[in-house]
Amino acid sequence: MDQPGFADLADVVGRFDAQDYLLDEGTASAIYLALALGRPLLLEGEPGVGKTTAAKALAAALDTTLIRLQCYEGLGAGEALYDWNYQRQLLAIRMAESRAGRLDESDLFTEEFLLPRPILQCVRHRGTGTPVLLVDEIDRADDEFEALLLEFLGESSVTVPELGTFTAERPPVVVLTSNRSRDLHDALRRRCLYHWIEYPKPERAVAILRRTVPEANTALIAQVTEFVGDARGLDLDKPPGLAESIDWVSALAALGATELSRVEAVASLGAIAKTPDDRDSIIALLDDGERDRAAPCSAPDATR
């Protein structure tokens, strides 16, 4: 079966649009080239700009399976590549002993007892279509985990010492995401195409919010977009991203708000303020806006 792909950039944009994901030209080009060249794609950007959602939309646009590997500190081969079913191995040993027999080590480390984890699942995928593997937030994993990925990223294969090397019939589509909380090694970067997803400009953020939260009215979306842009200029612990904007508009709409007023804004502030200090800073910004709107216009000069 041929590798999945897109006819051209317009096809990428159109198929993502059908999944309610509005692509900018740069991201569309990166996705098109990654599939055309059969290369893994590393997406970096601030938290909340849509990296994970892009991978999900890609799987939906290709009408294929999404396999997700969420990274975390301490992640190793047993969680990402493969493991052995120790309970079944122990049961096999006991059954052999009950029949006055014995099992050699080679009898225990066979495919019967192999537990494929997400990466090996992709390599051994035999269903219709080519799966999309999402290696999410790779910067959260340890340096050692990157070394585990190199064989797979370079050759679409995984080596199990007891069984040999498994190689994918069709290389899976691989998307890695990173919030750049730490630098990734050059060896990993060399194996990937790279794209940095920018926080969207106001007009594009408005378009995304309109698509994502259709129940919110236009005035509310415009006001939230402007306010979040101002909030991102503050010295916050965790500046709100597009994901937080979507959550906030959704929360405000659920409260029945038709415009950004202080009462509903404070009630729903947990959508964009993720620390006590950030909450105080954002409330202060809200209050500044309220005072600016309430300030009377300067009286006309009576001498004129």
The pLDDT value recorded for residue 3 is: 66
Q: How many CB atoms lie within 10 A of CB 119?
A: 26
- Percentage of the residues of the chain whose pLDDT score is greater than 70: 95
Q: What is the pTM of this model?
A: 0.88
- Residues 79-95 have pLDDT tens digits of 999 999 999 989 888 88
The pLDDT value recorded for residue 126 is: 82
The pLDDT value recorded for residue 96 is: 84
Average pLDDT over residues 165-172: 92
pLDDT at 127 > cutoff 80: no
- Residues 45-58 have pLDDT tens digits of 999 999 999 999 99
pLDDT at 304 > cutoff 50: no
pLDDT at 2 > cutoff 60: no
CB 83 within 8 A of CB 37: no
The pLDDT value recorded for residue 94 is: 85
Q: Sorting pLDDT into bands at 50, 70 and 90, what band is 301?
A: low
